[in-house]
Structure 1
């Protein structure tokens, strides 16, 4: 290893110990290995060719690599195979794009898509869900992951929610379940809800009047229809 490479590695080791942007100093990061840093070096070299615009300047590269290492670790990207999948996806996604991707974007590229897993694309899964959410037990689903995403989204949401809100909730559930499926994890489990489970419902008119009357009485107030 050259003196320049050794200095760069020490710099990255110092950066990786720092907390992620926006997190407190108590957050600890795993110590990167020489292989981790070599992988990020290789990724940067390839991405410079694919996306030459806005690539990090050489003097800022150590800082950027430190954040990339932290972000990839936080997103569960921990193998050469995942990184290679990310590079392959970058080549497919490139098209006319010239701008350097964020580490979060690259981490998403490293994760398998529904098609990679043999699952329906999000659009097809959502269309199937909107057609059959009201009788899930009677429909033969294209894949069990779609059925589970429908269950987690809820028939009430499909029936009463705005389409954009339903799609956002379904997409979130579908992607979480796809990731679990890709890891071979049991998918037939309830997911943590993105929104509070409590729902505000309008109070019935009679009950509302009773509550108001009690409040007035407790506070010594009189209503317009009360006697003098």
Structure 2
């Protein structure tokens, strides 16, 4: 399974189209290594979902067709690393369903697992973080002073809060934005980017005033001290 990354990454569009069934004539997987690796993945999944052996894949032709679809789905959705596949298998083992997952479901498991592995909240947790920040932010001097769980949470939650306020997002819209933020942040972490920590801004000790107000203030002080205005006789 470790070499699945290179096999998927090196597969050209024509081969993927054939494997996905775009060619009306029967085709086979040209790369024998790809076939063996997908066989291994399916064997692992069969141990988790044993009922599929006598139902979904009772006909060998159906299993062969399914394998072609899975390889194409991996390539189309960016499933290219060992960590992603391991995360997908971890979710599969924890699944309460006895039914064989679709390629889309397994891909979702892969992506969710990577998000967790990167120390990020899931979609529901991130949504609750935004709601909590919206409720409690007034108790803190600034967004940077808020007790964040991680730098990534600071950047995601504050961005989502600003979008929610400025665009008057509904709950459904905000949840969609949460999913987008998680994907973007996970991608940044996977590429090795260091997410900067929030830095509390030093409060301003004075408020600048205009020249006119400054002169008025000077005149007020001079009047209190009994001093004449400049130029007065």
With structure 1 as the length reference, what TM-score do the two structures score? Answer: 0.59
Higher relative contact order structure (alpha carbons within 8 Å, sequence separation ≥ 6): 2
Q: 1:136 aligns with which of 122, 135, 143?
A: 143
Which residue of the partner structure matches residue 66 of structure 1? 68
Distance in 2 (alpha carbons) for counterparts of 1:66 and 1:15: 13
| 1:82 corresponds to | 84
Q: Does 1:163 align with 2:184?
A: no
Give 1 or 2 for the bigger CA radius of gyration. Answer: 2
More helix by share: 2
C-alpha deviation, 1:58, in angstroms:
1.0
- Residue 108 (str. 1) matches residue 115 (str. 2): no
Following TM superposition, where does structure 1 have runs of at least 4 consecutive aligned residues deviating by more than 4 angstroms? 19-23
TM-score, with structure 2 as normaliser: 0.58
Give the SS at the match of 1:115. helix
How far apart, CA to CA, are the structure 2 residues paired with 1:33 and 1:140? Answer: 52
- What RMSD over aligned residues (CA atoms) do the two structures have, in Å? 3.5
Partner of 1:146: 153
Count of aligned pairs between the two proteins: 168
- Structure-2 change in CA distance of 1:102 and 1:15 (3 Å): farther
Measured in 1, the distance between the counterparts of 2:143 and 2:71 equals 42
| Number of the residue aligned with 1:175 | 183
2:38 aligns to what? Answer: 40
Is the contact made by 2:116 and 2:122 (CA closer than 8 Å) also made in structure 1?
yes
Aligned match of 2:47: 49
